[in-house]
Every structure is written in C-alpha cells, then in structure tokens.
Amino acid sequence: MLVVIVSDEKLARAIRARSRRNILKILCRKQRASVHEIAKKLNMSESLASRHLKLLYDLALVDQKYEPPEKFYFLRIKKLKQLFKVYEEVTKEI
C-alpha cells in the first residue's frame, strides 16, 4: 500500500475548487463513478473532470480502479476523515 503524506496547504487546495468539492459529493452519494459519469453530472468536459480527479488521486483523497473499458473512482474515507479532523481543529482556533 502506498502511503502519501500531504501538507495542509495541498489538502486545502484540493477542496478549494467548487468542482472538486462537487466531485467528492458525487462520490459520497455514489460509491464509485467513472470520469464520464462525473463530467456529465457536473456539465464539464471529460478532460477537465479527469484533471480534477487526478489531483484528488495524487492527494490520496480518491482511489481508482480500472475495469475495462472505464476507470472508476471512489473515496478514500480514512484520508477524508483526517482532512475533516484538521479543519475541525483549525476552526476551533478561530
């Protein structure tokens, strides 16, 4: 298993964009989705959806599984829980 350590700044960048937050919401509601499905739901090009998914994948917030002919994405729940914990601590300080 690959372990990725991501800085708080990169995690913040991951959820700063509304499109990426919407992708995470889709994956929360639907356990997995293809690039095509995500692009269609968000009314964006598949290439743009793919770039957002790549960033989320690089930050280990989503994982992917190739099932020909498509690649499916799903949430990495443990990593998201860590992200929420960090933001909860930050908001307590404000």
Average model confidence (pLDDT) across the chain:
84
- Can you read off the two tokens belonging to residue 37? 């499905």
- Whether 48 and 23 have beta carbons less than 8 Å apart is answered as no
Q: Is residue 3 part of a domain?
A: no
Q: What is the domain-level CATH number for residue 84?
A: 1.10.10.10
Instruction: State the residue range of the domain holding 73.
Output: 8-93
Note the pLDDT tens digit of each residue in 29-71: 888 999 999 999 999 999 999 999 999 998 888 999 999 999 9
- Can you read off the two tokens belonging to residue 63? 């994982």
Q: Is residue 29 part of a domain?
A: yes
Whether the predicted pLDDT of 5 surpasses 80: no
Q: What does the pLDDT read at residue 11? A: 72
CA 10/CA 92 separation, integer angstroms: 21
- Can you read off the two tokens belonging to residue 47? 């290439």
Q: Is residue 2 part of a domain?
A: no
